[in-house]
Amino acid sequence: MNPSLNPAALPTFAQIQEAAARIAPYAVLTPVLRSAVLNALVGADLHFKCENLQRGGAFKFRGACNAVWSMDDGQAAGGVVTHSSGNHGNALALAAATRGIPAHVIVPDGAVRTKVEAIERAGAILHRCAPTQAAREAKADEVRLATGAELVHPFADTRVMAGQGTAVLELLQQTGGVDAIITPVGGGGLMAGSAIAAHGVAPHIAVHGAEPVGADDAARSLAAGRRVGPFVPDTICDGLRTLIGETNFDALRMHRVEVTTVSDAEVIAAMKLLWNELKLVVETSSATVLAAVLKRPERFAGQRVGLVLTGGNVDLDALPW
């Protein structure tokens, strides 16, 4: 592995630029959409980066692909392993297939059925575990030791964070620049990579996070000035039920990220608006960004705002309404 890609550290802006070049042959250059109706609702110029149209249906492919292609041949020989309730597992399996190596994915009990099926279709070897962070980490370590696979953590991996940051790098190139960006906050990999990418291009850009009230550990951690402990999530946003990583939280503090919390009802309303106005089906986790802007329009009034729509892997037989 490139020694500059230490899995325990935050990526640099240069590493995000390197990731963009590394994944270019495999990732989709997703479009940026706008809506006059949504702009009028909030009094801002909104630019939606459509990662729901990314390979595998989510931004996660960026980080997984960068991790897979950052490994040297010796590391790659044993394949890769991760734990995931959905999009990261799917992304890692797809990325591993581009290099012809196996992908082991630890899936917690109770994960969304359609996302688990997508992981299987992508060619992953599935392993089950209890639905706790401790169980996920323990099972991943067990599989790693048994197979020699390289661990690619969903958010606490420099290679993953660097890859995720390429979405905002593209957004800024496609729009010619914005005043603010906003992404969902779960484990914090996308948020960290996005903040570093944004401030690497233009230090003045305001960086915002959107988080469901039922999984608001990032907001509470920022308010407390320290990372809060484990919590029991209570939200329909299944992709954001993870405790923010330690390194990721450091990135939020360093880059002065402001987090807005939104209720599940606000998320559902935003999801419907995106469907109606942009004709996009996005996950509840993705809809948090529009929900946050709608909740605090005064915070974004008159600004050019980049919003990352993180995924579109929706179970149409189980819509939240």
Write out the DSSP string of 295-309: H-HHHHTT-EEEEEE
CB 320 within 8 A of CB 284: yes
Predicted pLDDT of residue 271: 98
- Of residues 2 and 48, the one with the higher pLDDT is 48
What CA–CA distance (Å, rounded) separates 172 from 262?
A: 26
List the one residue out of 127, 77, 69, 71 whose CA is nearest residue 94. 69
List the one residue out of 294, 219, 224, 305 whose CA is nearest residue 257. 219
Kindly report the CATH number that applies to the domain delimited by 13-58+157-309. 3.40.50.1100
Predicted pLDDT of residue 315: 84
Predicted pLDDT of residue 321: 85
Predicted pLDDT of residue 318: 84
Instruction: Give yes or no on whether 13-58+157-309 and 61-151 have one common fold.
Output: yes
> Hey, what long-range contacts does 33-42 have (CB within 8 A, 24 or more apart)?
33/278, 33/280, 35/277, 35/278, 37/277, 38/273, 38/277, 38/278, 38/290, 41/273, 41/294, 41/297, 42/293, 42/294, 42/297, 42/300, 42/301
| pLDDT tier for residue 310 given thresholds of 50, 70 and 90 | very high
DSSP string spanning 132-176? SHHHHHHHHHHHHHHH-PEE--SSS-HHHHHHHHHHHHHHHHHHT
Predicted pLDDT of residue 3: 36
Distance of CA 124 to the CA centre of its chain: 20
Q: What rounded mean pLDDT belongs to the chain? A: 94
| pLDDT tier for residue 16 given thresholds of 50, 70 and 90 | very high
The amino acid that residue 258 corresponds to is E
Predicted pLDDT of residue 142: 96
Distance of CA 317 to the CA centre of its chain: 24
Question: Whole-angstrom distance between the N-terminal and C-terminal Cα of the chain?
Answer: 46
Predicted pLDDT of residue 6: 46
Q: 130-178, pLDDT tens digit by residue?
A: 988 889 999 999 999 999 999 999 888 999 999 999 999 999 999 999 9
Three-state SS for 279-296 is CCCCCHHHHHHHHHHHHC
Predicted pLDDT of residue 18: 98
Q: Where are the domains positioned within the chain?
A: 13-58+157-309, 61-151
279 Cβ neighbours under 8 A, 6+ residues apart: none
Predicted pLDDT of residue 4: 40
- Of residues 208 and 2, the one with the higher pLDDT is 208
The alpha helices in 154-296, defined as continuous H runs, are 158-175, 189-201, 217-224, 246-254, 264-278, 284-295
* pLDDT for residue 285 is more than 60: yes
Q: 57-95, pLDDT tens digit by residue?
A: 999 999 999 999 999 999 999 999 999 878 899 999 999
CB 263 within 8 A of CB 215: no
| pLDDT tier for residue 8 given thresholds of 50, 70 and 90 | low
* pLDDT for residue 103 is more than 80: yes
**What SS3 class is residue 90?**
helix
| pLDDT tier for residue 112 given thresholds of 50, 70 and 90 | confident
Predicted pLDDT of residue 80: 97
* pLDDT for residue 7 is more than 60: no
Kindly report the CATH number that applies to the domain delimited by 61-151. 3.40.50.1100
* Average pLDDT of the residues in 101-105: 97
- Of residues 108 and 300, the one with the higher pLDDT is 300
DSSP-derived secondary structure letter, 10: P
CA angle 271, 277, 281 (to 5 degrees): 45
| pLDDT tier for residue 110 given thresholds of 50, 70 and 90 | confident
Predicted pLDDT of residue 132: 84
Q: 232-247, pLDDT tens digit by residue?
A: 899 999 889 889 999 9
CB 1 within 8 A of CB 158: no
Q: What percent of the chain has pLDDT over 90?
A: 85
146 Cβ neighbours under 8 A, 6+ residues apart: none
